[in-house]
Structure 1
Amino acid sequence: MAGIYIHFPFCKKACTYCNFHFSTSLNYQKTMVESMLKEIDLRKSYLGEELIDSIYFGGGSPSLLSAKLIGEFILKIKKIFNVSETVEITLEMNPDDSSTDYLLELKENKVNRLSLGVQSFFDDDLKLINRIHSANDAIESLNKIKDTFNNFSIDLIYGLPYSDIQKWEYNLKTALKFEPPHISSYALTVENKTVLKKQVDNGNILLIDESLVEEQYFYMIDLLEKKNYDNYEFSNFAFPKKHSVNNNGYWKGNPYLGIGPSAHSFNGKNKRSWNLKNNKLYIKSIKENKLLFDEEKLSLKDRFNEIVMTGLRTSSGISLKTIREKIGDRYADFLEKTSEKRVISNDLYWDADSLHVSKKSKFISDGIASDLFLINL
């Protein structure tokens, strides 16, 4: 199984926390789309005969694209690649883009899943992080999406400045009113080279204490588990059979192809690459039939550390069998030995041959994973 990710690098407005590659200058969208469609042709051999089970439109704000153009991408991918008849086709959407006509047109063009970037149902939060939509826009959008799509996800952010458990409870319970099959929720992260980073460094915005962020996280887990959501990955919750195919592919180490400036690709074995982060140079290179990207070759140590990091974030855990088959016996033996202390402290536990993070230690799972990383062997 493999996935294809389409990175559309344009937004109407820059969110303060975002460090993804995008531009708020919308002047050359048409040329960009033409270049991205051509890149699909240039990369047609990358995935070989792998069966494509996910096509994902991200960004940026891909809901700026017309449904017709999105349909063109889908048709081209289906023409060139080996696409599953049950392929999951996801579009990231902003609430202000979700007119009823647009939603119906997306369905006609074979989009079958939406991921709505709500982030918060409070206008003061949305203004603080410079989102373009209002809380009412989000409510109206969800009403329309629920009437049109049976598979959709809501994105929320916890740990926002000045937030408390009451606001977070309201956000979650408001989202739950729409019975979303999937919820993705991420802690606010202060990334370098973002407006938020400058605001925090200058003292214009005060972050809440880490203990309050942790309280919000565990409140979310408890509430969503009671509502029968499976916390199948640290930040992702879904009803049975509604796990994101795109997300699961990343965590399982499946190959994927990224199209568009800054998009990442992985051959499923030992090579990872990422396209140039410059819209104009990307367009120029594609016009000249050139692919400009950086590439790294992953060592066995790199692959082991990635499996540890991604595995501990998922409900599937880290499989010793997978490590033995993909990397080697001594790496599996190393994991068994280095995990002993964390198992004794009840941060980790074994279920058959799979290593899992205990519920009480989920919030520090990345730190636990780093303790298990291989430096030398």
Structure 2
Amino acid sequence: MDPVRLLRHLEQRTEAMLADLRVLVEHESPTGDEGALTALAGILAARWSALGAGVRRHPVPGVGPHLEIRWPGAPPAGPGDTPPRPALLLCHMDTVHPVGTLARNPFRVEQGRAYGPGSYDMKAGIVMALHAARSLQELGLAPARPVVLLVTTDEEVGSLTSRALIEARAREAAYALVLEPAAPGGAVKTARKGVARYDLTVQGKAAHAGNDFERGVSANVELARLILALHALSDLERGTTVNIGVVQGGTRANVVPEFARAEVDVRFFHLDEATRVDRAVRSLTTGPGASLRVEGGINRPPLERTAAVAEMYEHARALAAQMDYPLPEAAVGGASDGNFTAGTGLPTLDGLGAAGDGAHTTWEYVEVSSLAPRTALLAALLATL
């Protein structure tokens, strides 16, 4: 398998890739718009069916259908051989941009950059998966193992309805490749922080601040003590951060506050850190006359840079080097569906999508020059892993 041959083939398909990206970007698909996402799923299903792939819809009322796309790999070496475990690819079609964003920020190509809502995060990744499969087919090559591609519709809000599907397919797979956009400098992501979220509610005792101050128990004061304890749980050397992002309490200045609440975001590179912080949060207590309710917990496990992940990265870097394409690696604080596959123990390589910048902004863009080499890399990985 010659990665350079794949690269040359895909360089000739750059305009076709941009045309497909335009179609996807110009079909706005914000999370929660079931109609828009269902229509976009229909477009994608037709494209994949034309390549001979099997397409299964997993409809979710109010959310839209998650797509499960399958195509075969090379036949087993012998008639009695067991088919290998499949490769798992992850994409999502939902974006953070509401319908109408396109009118203010239309798809366009300027100075080597393709702009438009959802272009970078992550409709370019969907286009790359399609053209990687097509290029292998056109060059008479086959993936080393069967391929399962999931294109989900709720990643931007935490994958609440797609997580079970992702984890189920991860348990059947040999490895996962995530087509989220690249990190700065075109780096793939070999580690991602996990996420935990907590809502803390303190109940105190209301009282008139002038006449009966001593009879009250201030929920605000109790929460302030808890905030200091939460902040102290951060461990920057290990990459663990505890951010108290929202604080609310009290009704009027002349009333001892009866209720107070805080929303807390926790990020961690290591699962043992998540466990440490979770136990500490659930062990928090208030003073006499007040009570505390803790809701939430660990939402996404970390994608840790295990030996298996490092081996996948080195394999990818070697393939990229054959194309004279540098491929650095990065550890990032944001999470993706790759956190879920990694949480099942599946070796996961993330950030294999397009290079660019501006995710979730009105100026997000894809570096057009990254499309061919990164799609060639994806195809080469499928052919060799």
Q: Name which structure has the greater RCO, CA cutoff 8 Å, separation 6+.
A: 2
**TM-score by structure 2 length?**
0.27
**TM-score by structure 1 length?**
0.28
Structure ranking higher in helix proportion: 1
